[in-house]
Structure 1
């Protein structure tokens, strides 16, 4: 046993978690407790950020009868370094059978829902990517998870369409949630630069190829800036001063970087990731079919030329930005979360 590293030991303990879960009936001051199952992520992904943000937002509603909390089953004391207030964390595997609801994300739905059903724990499934539903799972294991879920939530029109395609019989319990984007953080700088930003970790091979295809033909007055190893403030600053953003989204639930880039006044070129079609507005967004590297490079060079000749209607971006601010507003996200907790409360009473 002494040869096991802490990481290996932690993984073994996690594998045996089914024996740690308990469901009981105990006095509780809250009518509803929402416990969000969350992966451990030193560099939090968009999905983890959504989990933390939703817990923060529900608790900030200050509803006496509801509490939201984050549950890191791999390591109960783990905390992601994210700038959200009013967070709460679950530090045991004991669940209140009557009024606690486990929120399981789609990538773990098959295995975690099976444990919840065995233990008599209520749960819902939060789907943040319709193309990750079958990660390490088959329909045989996924179907019962969705069949027995109290509700199924989704965060984009594309995810909703995926769920209805896969599970039309569960359509009535699918709840659409809208995400918000910090439009006060992602906004254009007063003076733009001839700068092209992109995220190399998104489809790394594709981004590397596009950059190489551009290398010899990129005008000396333009430069490329990879957005990596940056915090949110640094990303916002980079997008604020750039003119063009290259999107390498791949089958996203709702890829936020292209949206954030558009809010920061960028012309967006590249892949929609499917869900991006929800915000792919005319003039400011230009789609490239996934894998068409030559077209990606050609279109980018064309738009650079248009910028240099003053042929880009940047004033039309202002109208798009106003539409996107309204579509992805905090008010809409909060209204959806309030509706969710009310629907769940009605189901468990």
Structure 2
């Protein structure tokens, strides 16, 4: 039994959503003798609002040393790994943010947690590189997983509008500055639409209509919104968040150094001009969409999870 320790977040996003999705996918595979469950230790009756099925939940603090393996996310690793070791419970650490490894924990306690983990998983090239840099002696037990994006949901609309989209919750000071910088120069035929307090379906619909997405990613494990925007046919301008470099494809993605507000604004206005003048190659975006669909496909995600289970069975 794989027991995923999970924070409480009513509207799951990012890492919490990945935890729920992985549990759902593992259970869907129906591997003999293998099940996955979610454990909310702060409130065993808590449930996140997610669209996934085939979910199991652990509702007590009774643990099976022989048949239960904890899956601990990186921000809880030092604390929960110590508890697991004291109880004799096997555990792995699932790292979804290479820059959150030391959050609320000191270097020594984090090292001990990773030292005794049976496996360490990661979901991006950048996280893998961070882990190898931090723990080169544990490289052999670092296992690469893959995330997928719903390309049937995130796709271009038949008719695109002159919309620029962005997420205000990401580096709000930066996004406010950029919008103020371009306010007097933005053509009246263009609109800026913030993506906030929307369902996933509403987000997908908005991205499908827009032409430009502004990325304010900050040290992400693997920021999915820029990928979703790209699949929906947007030009993506802004910060890679480091991990985004693995999908930052030419012509569709345009990197700006974090904090370079003036350059960010100049690139936006330049792309608007090119689009309005009919000088932008949208065929290249179609090629990139195919590349991203293959790179972040459900098949690769499932294969990674199946491989993870096989690795644990061998241990």
Is residue 121–residue 145 contact of structure 2 (8 Å, CA) maintained in 1? yes
Distance in structure 2 (CA, Å) of the matches to 1:304 and 1:181: 27
Within the candidate set 117, 129, 132, 1:161 is matched to 129
- What is the alpha-carbon distance in structure 2 between the residues aligned to residue 229 and residue 214 of structure 1? 24
Distance in 1 (alpha carbons) for counterparts of 2:134 and 2:303: 27
1:261-280 matches, cutoff 5 A: 261-280=229-248
Measured after TM superposition, the shift of residue 96 of structure 1 is 0.7
Question: Of the two, which has the highest radius of gyration?
Answer: 1
Q: How many residues align?
A: 315
- Distance in 2, matches of 1:99 and 1:172, equals 24
Runs of 5+ consecutive residues of structure 1 not aligned to the other structure: 1-32
- List 4+ stretches of structure 1 deviating above 6 A: none
Residue 137, structure 1, aligned to residue 105, structure 2: yes
What residue number does 1:228 align with? 196
Q: Is the 8 A contact 2:213 2:234 kept in 1?
A: yes
**Residue 76 of structure 2 is aligned to residue 108 of structure 1:** yes
CA distance, structure 2, for counterparts of residue 138 and residue 287 of structure 1: 33
Does structure 1 residue 72 correspond to structure 2 residue 24? no
Q: Counterpart of 1:218?
A: 186
The CA deviation string for residues 47-86 of structure 1, in whole angstroms up to 9 with x for no partner, is: 0000000000000001121000000000000000100010
Query: Equivalent residue for 1:40?
Result: 8
* DSSP-derived class of the 2:63 partner: strand
Residue by residue over 1:261-283, the C-alpha shift from the partner in whole angstroms, topping out at 9 and shown as x without a partner, is: 00000000000000000000000
Q: 1:225, 1:259 → 2: CA distance?
A: 18
Deviation at residue 99 of structure 1 after TM alignment: 1.6
d(CA) in 1 for partners of 2:286, 2:273? 21
Correspondent of 1:310 among 278, 287, 301: 278
RMSD: 0.5
What SS does the aligned partner of 1:94 have? coil
Q: How does 1:4-15 map to 2 (within 5 A)?
A: none
Q: Distance in 2 between matches of 1:332 and 1:41?
A: 27
